[in-house]
Amino acid sequence: MARSRPMSPWTLFLSFVVLIACIVVPGVTVKHENFKTCQQSGFCKRNRALADNASAQGASWSSPYELDPATIHFKDGQLNGILIKTTSTHEKIRMPVTVSFLESGAARIIVDEEKRLKGDIEVRHDSKANKKRYDETEKWVIVGGLEVSKSAKLNAQTETGFTNILYGPEDKFQAIIRHAPFEVEFQRDGETHVQINHQGLLNMEHWRPKVEHKEGESPEEEGTWWEESFGGNTDSKPRGPESVGLDVTFPGYNHVFGIPEHADSLSLRETRLDPLPPCACIVANHDNRGGPGNHEQPYRLYNSDVFEYELNSPMTLYGAIPFMQAHRKDSTVGVFWLNAAETWIDIVKEAANSNPLSMSAHSKSNTKTHWFSEAGRIDLFVFLGPTPQDISKTYGQLTGYTQLPQHFAIAYHQCRWNYVTDEDVKEVDAKFDKYQIPYDVIWLDLEYTDDRKYFTWDPLTFPNPKGMQEKLDESERKLVVLIDPHIKNKDDYFVSQELKSKNLAVLNKDGEIYDGWCWPGSSNWVDCFNPASFPWWNSLHKFDRFKGSLSNLFIWNDMNEPSVFNGPETTMPKDNLHFGNWEHRDIHNVNGITLVNATYQAMLERKKGEVRRPFILTRSYYAGAQRMSAMWTGDNQATWDHLGASLPMVLTNGIAGFPFAGADVGGFFHNPDKDLLTRWYQAGIWYPFFRAHAHIDTRRREPYLISEPHRTIISQAIRLRYQLLPAWYTAFHEASVNGTPIVRPQYYVFPENEAGFAIDDQLYLGATGLLAKPVVTENTFTTTIYIADDEKYYDYFDFTVYQGAGKRHTVPAPEDKIPLLIQGGHIVPRRDRPRRSSALMRWDPYTLILTLNKKGEAEGSLYVDDGETFDYERGAYIHRQFQYRDSVLSSENLGTKGAKTAEYLKTMAGVTVERVVIIDPPKEWKDKSTVVIIEDGAKTGSIAVLEYYEQESGKAPYAVVKSPNVGIGKTWRIEF
């Protein structure tokens, strides 16, 4: 054995630095020990081991699941059969499978377990848990789109051992179902786009009785079958092991998006590469353990209260939408995993040429994904696109499109934990007016309540809540208050008394009311899976019960994961029982939206005869929450990195069908400096949900408190949001009818431009052509904006021209400027008169901004309604299509006449277009001074003034039509 040389002082110093780096992890504040890794989650570890075993065996691996040909029955667009699982002991387990082909073009695969379906199992510990696999997720999530296609048919070319189904538009889609081993290949136009069980990782842990082994003889793999401990809590698992898993492969696809919520990039990363040595893995950024830029853990979906979450991580957060899209040049496909239990997703990308069976030459990679959930059944939807818009629409038909919110909800919200008195609220309200900063909503966090009892007011600090709300209403502003699902366990609290007496609380595994710890201390949780909870929860929101609340009060549902401070992983034990004797493990991820659903119903009609659109903010969410609420990204930090991360997080939520999303402007934890706060407001105006919020321990940071010049810069950013509210509301309307994101990533707008697929730091506002690139790094005064096409783009503020396809263009970004371009070919509606709140802009005139494309044309649209009621469903709205072509600007009706149309148009008769700005107009307009205006088909027109302005080199000229005064709800032409 060789003797080692003594260390030099320099080597000793380096060793000391490395040692400190291994012990101290700078900047990481999340308590990892409170949350499981895959290795600490029994079913995750087992499913990953299955994948490892399959990979190790390679071509010799065969899935033990076969579709029994004798059981196959196809009729009216639906295939039914029995999967046979052959165990290692040669036992045959029967599993009914249904493959449905839907009118929308989606396909659905459901696999269940025959014994559990029949209730032919025994549960342990005398548990009352339901014996079935949970099959009610769709009750909370699916609202349509399940119509089975009667035109789907068997393909006459089917080979022995396969069943082929033609379906979709013009029979362009095909499902090739292999019997043994079971596999489904989905094709579009003869090319494979999605493969199910291609890797053979289908896994449904069937029920089996517990075999008592002698001490020390229990097989290692059974270690977490029957019970599992974590964080001082033992999960009793009365039904034994019951996880489900499945692999989904996207051949020829390099990028996958979606599956929020994670603080990660838009384009999802790989999760299965070899780890680095133990110390190096800590010194390196934690997400690099699987290789540069990748993760070693799967993406986890298990709604959790994660304190000061970290970035670039697959770690679970507050929401879960198991909807993934795969994208390559000119093709988008997707899958939706309808399961409410804890879920993990592995992602591996493989060079396409390493797979001789790959049928695609369009991409360098095949993306292999592996999905596994702790309980429930396999319920998978497959979407074949081919465009991102097709995916959004088809998915939205299933889970519902985003709500069309009240108009105030898309304006600026001012919040902190906490405004301490009703006088404090009124003073903040007055200060916004004094400094001429618009806002629409002020929020009250926890401390407004009497001893943290919801539906009450602190009598000392909020003695006059009605007076406070009446003061806000003078400027048509709103109040939002916090109401959480945990109810203070106190005998003299009327809500607690009723919760218990009506048997509406969540129960523990022994069937007793579950007691946990949250903000009020000892707490019980309302069980919104119980239908009887809805009328009760509804009654609590009525004006006569929530005393002191008025019609301009709205609701914030927080902590609804649910957050339980003394529970395992800061949530409820998995063996708690909900209505129907479903275990909490079955329903965890959908738990949050059951509360939101109840609150939505409660807020629809608080006073008989006055139906208004609810506004609700939720922290926990699942697919379908978009129908009822907005969301935000939770307890972020006042750092530049968290500012930067907010953009891909909001964009991801948008493409996953929940576009009404935002992040706490300024950061929830800690105190941002003036530069960070200013840049955050400039970014925050591009969140669909635009709210400033801060922790109780932070300094006050309302915009009017910030010193100059930052106060003015922030005010200008907020005013820009208000100026563009017509464009925002139009984008919200579009999302509400076809599911398109409100703010859109680069790949969504240019699906053919490969260089833009992973870009997630710039965004487009709806279909307006507005392209924003917020500054999210410190001491940055220029930025680069990627332009995919060869249209001209114009600086929104000074009309500087940028042009050049497939290039990054350097754009000035001094601290008082937001990098914002408009693509040629658009007409953007806006309102230019500053007001204190958005409601006070209701009767203001419009300005139209035109940018001409290469053909000299432009188009745009405007949607407007009363912003409050559901009268738009009966025609009370204006929807106009603006077009500029052949030297004529026209406004045509896109609306459909209804019972309320005439009445609404009458109220809007005085609202006009006061100005039209044309950027980069034809040069011959220099010699023009007037335009002709023809309204509602009149034979003769009126004249309006046209002024032409030249600018210095590099900036486009522009022309202004002054006072055309055409009605915003009328048909008209302006002839140049």
**Backbone torsions φ then ψ of 587, nearest 5 degrees:** -120, 5
CB 383 within 8 A of CB 105: yes
pLDDT at residue 246 in the model: 98
Instruction: Using the Cα atoms of residue 597, residue 600, residue 604 and residue 606 in order, give the sign of their dihedral.
Output: positive
Higher confidence at residue 252 or residue 12? Answer: 252
State the number of CA atoms in the 13 A half-sphere of 432 facing the CB. Answer: 25
Q: Is the pLDDT of residue 591 over 70?
A: yes
**12-16, 89-93, 147-151: the lowest-pLDDT one:** 12-16
Residue range 15-31: average pLDDT? Answer: 44
What residues does 163 pair with on adjacent strands?
Answer: 177
pLDDT tens digit string along 860-902? 999 999 999 999 999 999 999 999 999 999 999 999 999 999 9
- The verdict on whether 310 is a catalytic residue reads no
User: Do residues 235 and 573 touch, judged by C-beta distance below 8 A?
Assistant: yes
Residue 731 · residue 765 · CB < 8 Å: yes
- Amino acid in position 458: D
Sign of the dihedral through C-alpha 135, 139, 142, 146: positive
**Torsion sign over Cα 940, 945, 951, 954:** negative
pLDDT per residue as tens digits for the range 871-882? 999 999 999 999
Q: Is residue 556 part of a domain?
A: no
**The predicted structure's pLDDT at residue 231:** 87
Is pLDDT above 80 for 461?
yes
Segment 390-404 mean pLDDT? 98
Helix (H) or strand (E) run with residue 114 in it: helix 114-117
CA distances from 946 to 135, 588, 925, 960 (A): 65, 62, 9, 6
pLDDT for the residue 292: 63
pLDDT the model gives residue 8: 41
Q: What is the DSSP letter of 158?
A: P
Let me know if residue 327 belongs to a domain: yes
Residue whose tokens read 């914030």: 556
> In terms of pLDDT, which residue wins out, 657 or 8?
657
Q: Is-contact 852 794, C-beta < 8 A? A: no
Q: Give the model's pLDDT for residue 20.
A: 34
- 21 pLDDT tier (thresholds 50, 70, 90): very low
pLDDT score of 834 more than 70: yes
Peptide bond into 322 cis (omega under 30): no
Judged against a pLDDT cut of 60, whether residue 633 lies above it is answered with yes
622: left (phi over 0), alpha (psi -120 to 50) or beta: beta
> Given this model, what pLDDT does residue 291 score?
52
Tokens matching residue 393: 């629409």
- Who's near 568: CB < 8 A, 6+ residues apart? 230, 231, 232, 233, 235, 574
Q: What is the pLDDT of residue 273?
A: 63
Query: Do 414 and 684 touch, CB atoms closer than 8 A?
Result: no
Mean pLDDT of 93-110: 98
- pLDDT, average across residues 314-340: 98
The residue to which tokens 């009914």 are assigned:
96
Nearest-CA neighbor of 745 among 737, 734, 753, 618? Answer: 753
| 480/416 Cα distance (integer angstroms) | 11
By CB atoms closer than 10 A (0-12, 13-18, 19+), residue 40 is middle
What is the Cα–Cα distance from 273 to 291, expressed in whole angstroms? 6
pLDDT of 687 above 80: yes
CA distances from 744 to 15, 484, 655, 772 (A): 48, 32, 8, 10
What whole-number percentage of the chain has pLDDT above 70?
Answer: 93
**pLDDT above 60: residue 23:** no
Mean pLDDT, rounded, for 389-395: 98
Residue span of the structural domain in which 345 resides: 44-209+234-261+318-399
Cis peptide, bond prior to residue 261, ω within 30 of zero = yes
Query: What is the mean predicted confidence (pLDDT) over 796-810?
Result: 98
Between CA 896 and CA 892 the distance in angstroms is 12
- Domain total in the chain: 1
- What pLDDT is attached to residue 156? 80
For the chain, how many residues are written? 976
Q: Phi and psi dihedrals of 426, rounded to 5?
A: -65, -35
On whether residue 303 sits in a domain, the answer given is no
- The yes-or-no verdict on residue 27 having pLDDT over 90 is no
Q: Is residue 634 within 8 Å of residue 656, measured between CB atoms?
A: no
Residue with tokens 């309307």: 733
Contacts of 202 (CB under 8 A, 6+ apart): 63, 65, 111, 182, 245, 246, 247, 378
Can you give the pLDDT at residue 187? 98
Beta pairing, strands 782-787 & 244-250: unpaired
**Cis before 277 (ω within 30):** no
Per-residue pLDDT at 318? 98
User: Does residue 326 contact residue 333 with C-beta atoms inside 8 Å?
Assistant: yes
Is residue 358 assigned to a domain? yes
Question: Which position has the token pair 């290795």?
Answer: 39
Residue 482 φ then ψ, to 5°:
-80, 130
Nearest CA among 540, 470, 458, 460 for reference residue 499: 540
The Cα–Cα gap between 163 and 173 comes to 14
Predicted confidence (pLDDT) per residue in 513-560, tens digit: 999 999 999 999 999 999 999 999 999 999 999 999 999 999 999 999
| Residue 558 falls in the annotated catalytic set | yes
CA distance 301 to 261: 7
Query: What is the per-residue pLDDT across 417-451, written as a single tens digit (0 to 9) for each?
Result: 999 999 999 999 999 999 999 999 999 999 999 99
Q: Is residue 305 part of a domain?
A: no
Residue 300 has pLDDT above 70, yes or no: yes
pLDDT at residue 824, rounded to an integer: 98
Nearest Cα to 193, choosing from 148, 250, 128?
250
Give the residue among 20, 647, 26, 636 at the shortest CA–CA distance from 285.
26
Per-residue pLDDT for 351 more than 90?
A: no
Q: Which of 296, 484, 635, 791 is catalytic?
A: 635
User: Is residue 117 a contact partner of residue 192, using CB atoms and an 8 Å limit?
Assistant: no
d(CA 202, CA 196): 9
> In the block, which residue shows the tokens 């051949």?
251
Lowest average pLDDT, out of 284-288, 678-682, 698-702, 971-975, goes to: 284-288
Dihedral through CA 211, CA 212, CA 216, CA 217, nearest 10?
-40
Average pLDDT value over all residues in the chain? 93
Query: Looking at the DSSP assignment, which residues form a beta bridge with residue 512?
Result: none
Contacts of 505 (CB under 8 A, 6+ apart): 487, 499, 513, 514, 524, 525, 526, 527
* Cβ-based neighbour number of residue 788 at 10 Å: 21
- What is the structure's pLDDT at 282? 33
Per-residue pLDDT band for 280 (boundaries 50, 70, 90) equals: very low
73 is a domain residue: yes
Q: How confident is the model at residue 293 (pLDDT cuts 50, 70, 90)?
A: low
Asked whether residue 614 is domain-assigned, the answer is no
User: Is residue 559, in this structure, part of any structural domain at all?
Assistant: no
- Tell me the mean pLDDT in the region 202-224: 85
Q: What mean pLDDT do residues 295-306 have?
A: 97
Arithmetic mean of pLDDT, 297-324: 97
Whether 228 is a known active-site residue: answer no
Of 135, 228, 558, 914, catalytic: 558
Look up the CATH number of the domain holding residue 86: 2.60.40.1760
pLDDT at 794 over 70: yes
